[in-house]
Amino acid sequence: MWAGPILLAGVALAFDALNRRVPFGLLSTGPLDEVAHLATAALGLLVLACLIDAPRRFYVAALIASVAIDLDHIPLYLGLLGDSGQRPVTHSLATVVVFIVAAAASRRHRAVLAGVATGLVLHFARDMAEGPPGVRIFWPLQGQAWTLSYGWFLGMIIVFTVARLILVTLGVPRTRIRLFQREPSSAQDVTRAPKDAVPPAGLFGCGGAGPG
């Protein structure tokens, strides 16, 4: 139960450090950057998994979104956007809000859409800590690009790792908040579902058992 978070923290810090040292290039720093994003998001989700009870698709969507959002850079790299000194405005809380609104509106896809919003927040948090050009996080309300120090990223990784280890070790909280109803085949299944159902095992459980 200790190895997983510590391994993810190590991968996030190592790939982030390499990404900062290697001169920027789509094929050189791109993969380093995305591995750091993926490991950071996975670590954040491990903490979340101790607090909320969400289906697997929530976590899968969050992990995919935590790297896939950078596909919005493609028009920039193709020279289709004028301001190449900035990240695209889709790197902003506006995109997060779109997915939160969509999640609120769509009961069927709520877990996936909320997962995407979560993955985006984790991605933007690290992007801001990468230094210039920063993230226009409050676009369209404000056009300023925000940056955070490296200490923010380091702190994020330490807090996630320590929080996960403490929560798993102490076995708290006893019950996790169930944000999404399970996909029932009928309304009856909801009422029959035990209140303290056994959380799903695997990567994003919060059990103390197992080496993960």
Q: Which is nearer to Zn ion, 95 or 161 (CB)?
A: 95
DSSP 178: E
CB 54 within 8 A of CB 111: yes
122/119 Cα distance (integer angstroms): 5
Q: Figure out which of the listed residues 16, 53, 70, 130 binds Zn ion, where binding follows CB under 5 A.
A: 70
Minimum gap (Å) between residue 67 Cβ and Zn ion? 9
Using the rule CB under 5 A, give the single segment among 15-23, 69-77, 177-185, 200-208 that binds Zn ion.
69-77
Q: Which is nearer to Zn ion, 53 or 130 (CB)?
A: 130
117/180 Cα distance (integer angstroms): 14
Using the rule CB under 5 A, give the single segment among 16-24, 43-51, 65-73, 141-149 that binds Zn ion.
65-73
| Measured CA distances, 26 to 65, 72, 97 (Å) | 19, 13, 28
Using the rule CB under 5 A, give the single segment among 4-12, 127-135, 143-151, 156-164 that binds Zn ion.
127-135
Three-state DSSP state, 177: strand
Characterize 152-184 residue by residue with b for buried, 16 or more Cβ atoms within 10 angstroms of its Cβ, and e for exposed.
Answer: ebeebbeebbebbbebbeeeeeeebeebbeeee
Residue nearest to Zn ion (CB): 127
> Does position 127 bind Zn ion by CB under 5 A?
yes
> Does position 33 bind Zn ion by CB under 5 A?
no
> Does position 53 bind Zn ion by CB under 5 A?
no
Q: Which is nearer to Zn ion, 90 or 200 (CB)?
A: 90
Residues that bind Zn ion (CB under 5 A): 70, 127
